[in-house]
A = this chain, B = another copy of it.
Amino acid sequence: MKRYEGNGRMSKAVVHNGILYLCGQTGTPGNSMQEQTQEVLEKIEGLLNQYGSDKRHIISAVIYIEHASMFAEMNKAWDTWVEPGYEPVRACLEASVNDKRKLVEIVVTAALIEK
């Protein structure tokens, strides 16, 4: 097992048995849902690339949004980002992050790229 960027509370990424687990990612308070989702997905893509996977290897995503009414706006950013043919399984729920101005949190697992 490898752990990356631990801060005493959590690791930003953990690799075990061919799977990369990422910490829940959030965006910048004050930005719109679409902007925050874009930020989150860019962070996720960066972490996937850094630790041996990429967006084509995503297995699953759980998306927590502040208000169910923001579902369509979140999906605008999501649908642009995800590659057809490489969609993960997904669940999306209404649940607040600790700071309610953080409108979205996304938790992803991905397969490592086999060499």
Binding site for B on A (CB under 8 A): 1, 3, 6-14, 16-19, 21-24, 57, 59-62, 64, 68, 71, 75, 78-79, 82, 84-100, 105, 107, 111
Contacts and interface: CB of A to CB of B under 8 A. Distances in A.
29 contacts: A1-B111, A3-B87, A8-B79, A8-B87, A9-B82, A10-B82, A10-B88, A11-B87, A11-B88, A12-B89, A13-B89, A14-B59, A14-B89, A16-B19, A16-B111, A17-B18, A17-B19, A21-B59, A23-B90, A23-B91, A64-B95, A68-B96, A68-B100, A92-B97, A93-B95, A93-B96, A93-B97, A94-B98, A95-B95
A18 B18 CA distance: 12
B57 A87 contact: no
B3 A86 contact: yes
Number of copies: 3
Given A68-B100, A90-B23, A91-B23, A6 B57 contact: no
